[in-house]
Structure 1
Amino acid sequence: MATPTTEIVEPKREDSLAVRIIPFVDRYGVLLIVLAMVLVSFALEPEVFLTWRNISNIFRQIAFNALLALGEFLVILTAGIDLSVGSTLALAMMTVAVLSKAGAPWPLVVASPFIVGALVGIVNGLGLTKLRLPHPFIMTLGMLNIARGLTNLISGGVPISGLPTPVRFLGAGDFNITSPTETSPGISLPISLFVLLVTFLAVHLFLQYTRTGRHIYAIGGNPQAARVSGINVNRTLVLVYGLCGMLAGFSGLLLAGRTNSGFPNAGLGQELDAISAVIIGGASFFGGRGSVLGVFAGALVIGLMRNILNLRDVPVFWQQVLIGVVIITVVYLDVLRRRAGSANA
């Protein structure tokens, strides 16, 4: 009688490299990208890049995109997307300009973009949950056109300049660290950077230390399990889209202050930069994963990339090509990370 033999099946070694590398990239990847961008930028433009004026300009330029990205991040955490943030920015910005021109008191002017942005976001959330649309792409794509149309209607399609001092202070003001002298221009940081840091800190605390923040992560991880566990998914989604819209309105306020005007074509395509910053910062398109610090780093990467390309006089069209390549690469890394997680499970 033949003795039965036991066949030893070796574990699949497929994706073994990904299993080892992806966790490291997952934890430190965006910081390595920022460091690499700084080193490359310094090597290409050593006399300009590290000047205080250029550094201040980088932070001023990323402020409004970082706020857009922060709102987009909240939506992506729920495995959603908001394509209307650029148009919401423009609508909020033109609301500021129209109210200023009409002679409205400055507290109302400053509050208006938050109100307009929140209303747009709440409509997005209600449309998604009440109409039971199959994906937020549909609702927010429609809102992209609605908000852009309203922007042109209230402005007549023409820019409006001349905004109150508090608005200009938020978008273009500086905090002097050292006073200028005859031999030195002094050191200053944009007020918009301090506003940005406070906002990011507030959202971080909200996500990490509140029940609603934990619910947002849970919905992105598994919406059905979240419902079963007693989370009011629809209400949370409306809140998330409302916050996203409000942050887009805030972004419009900073941009209006920076340019001392409102112009109806503001924010065109800006939703793509916001989504890019979120994905580069390590958030997953599949939801339930990401951090506020990563979003800030992602926005900084986009800002550094545009800064050095501008310093090198690279045409804006090639900038779009490069950012598109970066997005595809980062999303592919996200896919590899998920495969590595499945292999370890």
Structure 2
Amino acid sequence: MSQQTRSTEERLVSLLLTLRNTSAGLSAEELVAGVPGYASSGPATNPDSARRKFERDKDTLRELGIEVTTTGRPEEPRYRIDEEDYALPALHLSAEQAACLSLAASAWRGGDLPATAKRALTKLRAVSEGPTGSSSTGLPALTADLSGDEIPEALVAAVDERRLVTFDYVSARSGSTRARTVEPHHLRLADGAWYLDAVEPSAVHDTNSTRGSEEPEGTAVRLLTFRLARIAGQVIVHGHPGAFTRLPASTPPRRRALLAVLPGRALGLRLAGAHLDPEPDPQTDLPAHLKGRDLISVEYEDPFSFAGTVAALGDSAVVLAPSSLREAVLAHLRGAAALTTSEGN
């Protein structure tokens, strides 16, 4: 934001506050003299220029829907803003609307979001709906890296220039780390995380890749998917520009999970999925020990990451299908239990 733009915004806010805090109204001369941004800063300041600036700002406030009331004699008008014309009606947001606001706010990185905007977001969340018996703190933490801050600059350049890269990658299956050398073809955002679609120069199938055995059999050259959050250390770029021909971007397969969720829990999954009615379809009848839960259907792309998301909910969400996802969630929970046991010893 330029200094000139910032000064204009600050001047408008100062004018707005001044007009709201006068009951008798203020003349144009009083406003020009008293509001920061209008007052003469030296003998070279043109009073007519300051007056024209005030007239433009007054019109801007009216364009924003803020009624500036004029009182007094026509030749000596006085200006003020009546509170009833300015105050908004009582505001009430649904949980979904508040979550959307949180997601929009996450597009601004923490240091760029002004303090006033942060306070406004906090107030909006305070008037939003929460699950029954809980507060708005139950809203999901939507922190998608929409601006791409987690993407290494070297990787962005390598994708653009079509150069090979080498990085250490942590396997989602085994947890082991080893160096990978790939042709970086595409960067994309999915389910709140950044991924690299790449090809190994040797085109040899590797069971440590993110997709592993889920890649189609018999494919000579295929895109492997790497989650950027699992890249450890620096990305090293080498080779000459134009080292490979970029494959067309493809839409990764998405899977559908069937979950039984406790009422008022797992709001993030509810927002991402669809609520199902088990009554019309006998096949979706819930087991006796899950009666009273809500049945939701959610699409996901990365099985390992989604399993971690469900596992983090504990007994609030139970996977009914597919069985591979249920086993992955159990593996997460067993791993967490093992860590807890070892720490206790």
- Does the TM-score normalized on the shorter chain lie above 0.5? no
TM-score by length of 1: 0.23
Which structure has more strand as a fraction of its residues? 2
Greater relative contact order, per chain length (Cα 8 Å cut-off, separation 6+): 1
Which structure has more helix as a fraction of its residues? 1
In our comparison, the structure showing a higher alpha carbon Rg is 2
TM-score by length of 2: 0.23
